[in-house]
Structure formats: structure tokens, C-alpha cells
């Protein structure tokens, strides 16, 4: 037997073992709902037409049950309101992908990863007496959905992402004086997520060998032999898929204040608490037959048993996750034929510093991925013109910052600074019924990405994004 053949034979079990250990790392940090801001303001067709300027102060909008409970003071009697917003989001990638060794990855650009989703909201407000209001609401304050073509160049960074938070809110307000009101809410929030990504089994093993050489564990001269063995047993393109699903209930609160500064001017301030979750669910994995055969082989199976079990087997897991706190300041000036206002919302995205995932399978250790998001500011101005007692025209503009940076941005929700332009129309066919429609186009700055996956695959390029929002609402005054 030649020296080369002897070395290869000796190296093969070690390479198999390297792959067995490395596959643990491939899902150690799943691609999750964290790459971009996913806050949804779309709970009112009327406010959308003004880019949400005066969201808590313009009046006649039952969405204040969730936007600022103190502002329910402007509603008389009992009001039921239903809103639905169609969110159309488009994102297209241009760039390249490489594996841990810098080898180009095949695949297309993923197509249009965006989608169209409906976001409903329901509100009920009732006036208990001259000073007290109570209200209930169901809304969706956070969410996103993207889906890229299988086999695209960024498949190891993300395929499908579906995340949403649904709130049930109970609110109350009290008029301390004729000009000043306070309000508070308790919130039950259900959050769920489903995330999929491809697994680069070849890249996992190759990357681990590279690390072993860099750390002095493996002689540099032996690396080509190990890599050759890996490329023979698990060649490039030996991909699997990971699917993570989880959900949880969390609870929060908000407080608000509403001032009638003059007969024409109003000001409102609202604080919405963060809501902490521990998402619990399942992790499901697939792998090609060559990888499955390798992990079950007599050579590798005993090594895995000694290491605590077989990686990439279906298991359960948990992940702490927090939706951020935010503060809203709203102003409105009311005249006989027109009204105008402004809104500013500060969101504490800095709470999102990392994601820690804990798996029940001991062969898949807990992992941590760093995000270091920054706090953001949303600012809007807008107004209304009253054509007559039945018809209202609306318009507005807004700027919405992104908490992400190039270093921590991935394809799940590629985000950049957003600029809104909105228009709206209100029609009042009777004294008891209000109908509203709002439309906004969102211009998004190019989202530059230079993202490294847990398996060492790098995605470099730009996402070109845009969005369209179309909302309808009906409100009935009892």
C-alpha cells in the first residue's frame, strides 16, 4: 500500500468525524426574523392617507384604542371600526455568494422575495359616561413575510420567513379635566415564526477543516487530503433544509396622555412597553442520502453517540425574543375646512442585541448571533381637506429609519431607510357610517448586504426594495 493511500485511509475517519461535529454548527444559529425592522403601523386606513400624521390627535378614528388610549376622549357614543391593509413588498437581489473557502456558489438571484399580505385590525370603543371610555382591539403590530426561490445564491442565509405578532388590547381613558385625559392599556400578544434555510453540508465540513488548520489542530499539509475526502463523500451541492417553527404568548402595557391645547390644537403622548417572549417550537431537518448514510455508518455513528447524539435530527427548541418598546408624539391643528398634523415615533430596537437558540438535542449546542440594532425614528407630516360634509381628501409624507447596518443585515427582511408618500379619501354616506381608503408608496434606500452565515457562506450585494400599501376601513357609530 502506498504512503498516500495509507494517509487517505487514516484521514478518512477523522474527516467523517469532522463532518459529524460540524453539522452541529450549521444549525447552531438559524436564520431568524431579525435582519430588518418589522414593525407594522398599518392599523388605520384613515391615518394611512396622512402617512399617520396626527394618528392619535386627528379625531374620529377608533384606532386610538391601540395608538393612544387617552385619545378615546374624542369619540362619542359607541364606535365599531374594521380596517384591512394590503401590504405589497418587493425585494430583488443582485450580487454574489461564496462558501467558506471563497468558492463561488451557484444559483440565481432568488426572484422577487417579497409578497402581498393582508393586515386586519378591529376596534370597539364605548363611552361609559361623560369622562370615561373603554375599548377593545385586535391588531398586528409586528410582522413580515419573504420567500426566495429554492437553490438561489443566498439559500444558506434564508429561504422562507413568516413572522407575525397579534395583539389583543383592552384600553380605558379618563378625562381629568375638560382639556386633559389619561389612558392605559393591557396587551396580550401572540407571536409566531416559521423560518427555513438551506444547509451547506459540504461547506460545514470544509469550514471546520479550515478552522482546524488555523488553530494548529490539523497540519496544513494534511488539509488537502481531508478536503479531498470531504469533497468525495459530501460533494458541493449536498444541501439539506432546516425548518424552524415556534410561538409564544407575552404580555405588555401602554399609557397615554391627551391635551386640548386650544380649541384648534391637540397634543398626545403615548408609551408602549416592550413585550418579552420565549418562543417554543420544533426544528425539522432534511439531508441528502449521502450525508444520512455517512452519519449512520459504523465508522461515524459511535463517534456521534459518544458526543451526545446525532445532529440534524428533529428536535424541539426555545429562543428568547422581545418586541421593542416605543414612544409616540402626535400633534393636530383643526380648522373648519382643513386640518394638518405631525407624528414622531421612537422605537427602542437596541433591545435586539442578539438571538440565543437552545435546542433539546444535546448534539446541537446553544448558539448566539449578534445583531446590535440601533434605535429608530419615524417622522410624518400630513393633512386633510374637507370638500363638503361627506367627502374628505388626505395626503402626507414620512421618513422611517432602519435599525440595521450592512454588517448585520440578511435577506430575511432586507431593510433600508423608507420614505413614504400617501393619499387618502374619506366618504360619509350617512351620519352613522364612515368609509375610508388610503394608499401609500414606500421608496426604500438600497439595502447593502455583506452577510456571513453560520456555515461560513458569504452573501455580498444589494437588495432593491419598494412597497405599496392599500387600506380600507368602515366605522359605524351607534
pLDDT in tens, 141-196: 998 888 999 989 999 988 998 889 999 999 999 999 999 999 999 999 999 989 89
Question: Cell triple for residue 152?
Answer: 438561489
pLDDT for the residue numbered 404: 83
Q: How many domains is the chain built from?
A: 1
pLDDT of 121 over the 90 cut: yes
The pLDDT tens digits of the residues spanning 227-269 come to 888 788 888 888 999 888 999 999 999 999 999 999 999 999 9
pLDDT for the residue numbered 330: 98
Among 436, 379, 389, smallest CA distance to 49 is for 436
**Which residue has 500500500 as its cell numbers?**
1
The mean pLDDT value for 379-385 works out to: 98
**Which residue has 426572484 as its cell numbers?**
111
pLDDT of 1 over the 60 cut: no
How many angstroms separate the CA atoms of 12 and 20, rounded? 12
- Find all residues with CB under 8 Å of 384, minimum gap 6, and list them: 50, 58, 338, 339, 340, 392, 393, 394, 426
DSSP assigned state of 106: P
**Which residue has 430583488 as its cell numbers?**
92
Lowest mean pLDDT among 35-49, 272-286, 347-361, 407-421: 35-49
User: What are the CA-CA distances from residue 376 to residues 233, 404, 416 (Å)?
Assistant: 48, 10, 12
How many angstroms separate the CA atoms of 54 and 268, rounded? 9
Q: What is the pTM of this model?
A: 0.85
- Going by pLDDT thresholds of 50, 70 and 90, the confidence category of residue 37 is low
Among 91, 124, 123, 136, smallest CA distance to 109 is for 91
pLDDT for the residue numbered 144: 84
CATH number at residue 7: 2.40.160.60
- Going by pLDDT thresholds of 50, 70 and 90, the confidence category of residue 398 is very high
The mean pLDDT value for 33-41 works out to: 58
Question: Cell triple for residue 255?
Answer: 399609557
Domain membership of residue 240 as a residue range: 3-477
User: Taking the alpha carbons of 98, 462, 287, 371 in that order, is the dihedral positive or negative?
Assistant: positive
Amino acid at each position: 500500500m502506498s504512503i498516500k493511500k495509507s494517509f487517505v485511509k487514516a484521514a478518512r475517519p477523522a474527516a467523517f468525524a469532522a463532518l459529524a461535529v460540524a453539522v452541529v454548527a450549521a444549525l447552531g444559529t438559524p436564520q431568524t426574523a431579525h435582519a430588518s425592522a418589522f414593525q407594522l403601523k398599518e392599523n388605520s386606513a384613515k391615518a394611512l392617507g396622512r402617512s399617520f400624521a396626527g394618528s392619535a390627535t386627528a379625531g374620529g378614528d377608533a384606532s386610538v384604542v391601540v395608538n393612544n388610549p387617552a385619545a378615546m376622549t374624542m369619540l362619542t357614543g359607541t364606535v365599531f371600526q374594521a380596517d384591512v391593509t394590503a401590504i405589497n413588498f418587493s425585494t430583488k437581489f443582485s450580487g454574489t455568494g461564496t462558501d467558506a473557502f471563497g468558492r463561488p456558489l451557484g444559483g440565481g438571484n432568488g426572484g422577487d422575495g417579497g409578497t402581498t399580505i393582508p393586515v386586519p385590525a378591529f376596534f370597539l370603543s364605548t363611552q361609559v359616561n361623560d369622562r370615561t371610555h373603554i375599548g377593545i382591539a385586535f391588531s398586528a403590530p409586528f410582522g413580515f413575510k419573504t420567500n426566495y426561490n429554492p437553490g438561489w445564491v443566498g439559500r444558506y442565509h434564508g429561504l422562507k420567513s413568516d413572522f407575525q405578532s397579534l395583539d389583543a388590547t383592552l384600553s380605558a381613558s379618563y378625562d381629568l379635566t375638560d382639556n386633559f385625559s389619561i389612558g392605559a392599556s393591557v396587551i396580550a400578544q401572540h407571536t409566531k415564526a416559521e423560518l427555513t434555510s438551506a444547509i451547506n453540508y459540504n461547506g460545514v465540513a470544509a469550514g471546520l477543516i479550515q478552522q482546524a488548520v488555523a488553530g494548529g489542530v490539523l497540519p496544513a499539509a494534511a488539509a488537502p487530503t481531508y478536503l479531498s475526502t470531504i469533497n468525495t463523500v459530501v460533494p458541493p451541492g449536498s444541501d439539506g433544509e432546516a425548518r424552524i417553527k415556534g410561538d409564544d404568548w407575552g404580555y405588555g402595557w401602554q399609557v397615554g396622555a391627551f391635551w386640548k391645547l386650544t380649541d384648534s390644537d391637540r397634543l398626545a403622548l403615548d408609551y408602549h412597553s416592550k413585550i418579552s417572549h420565549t418562543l417554543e417550537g420544533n426544528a425539522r431537518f432534511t439531508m441528502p442520502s449521502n450525508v444520512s448514510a455517512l452519519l449512520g455508518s459504523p465508522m461515524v455513528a459511535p463517534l456521534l453517540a459518544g458526543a451526545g447524539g446525532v445532529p440534524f435530527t428533529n428536535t424541539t427548541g426555545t429562543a428568547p425574543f422581545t418586541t421593542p418598546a416605543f414612544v409616540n408624539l402626535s400633534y393636530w391643528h383643526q380648522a373648519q375646512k382643513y386640518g394638518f398634523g405631525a407624528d414622531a415615533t421612537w422605537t427602542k430596537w437596541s433591545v435586539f442585541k442578539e438571538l440565543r437558540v437552545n435546542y433539546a438535542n444535546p448534539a446541537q449546542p446553544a448558539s448566539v448571533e449578534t445583531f446590535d440594532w440601533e434605535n429608530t425614528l419615524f417622522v410624518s407630516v400630513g393633512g386633510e381637506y374637507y370638500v363638503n360634509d361627506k367627502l374628505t381628501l388626505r395626503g402626507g409624507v414620512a421618513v422611517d429609519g432602519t435599525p440595521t447596518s450592512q454588517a448585520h443585515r440578511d435577506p430575511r427582511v432586507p431593510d433600508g431607510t423608507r420614505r413614504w408618500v400617501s393619499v387618502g379619501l374619506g366618504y360619509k354616506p350617512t351620519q352613522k357610517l364612515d368609509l375610508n381608503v388610503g394608499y401609500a408608496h414606500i421608496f426604500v434606500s438600497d439595502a447593502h448586504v455583506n452577510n456571513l452565515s453560520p456555515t461560513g457562506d458569504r452573501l455580498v450585494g444589494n437588495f432593491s426594495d419598494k412597497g405599496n400599501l392599500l387600506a380600507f376601513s368602515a366605522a359605524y357609530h351607534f
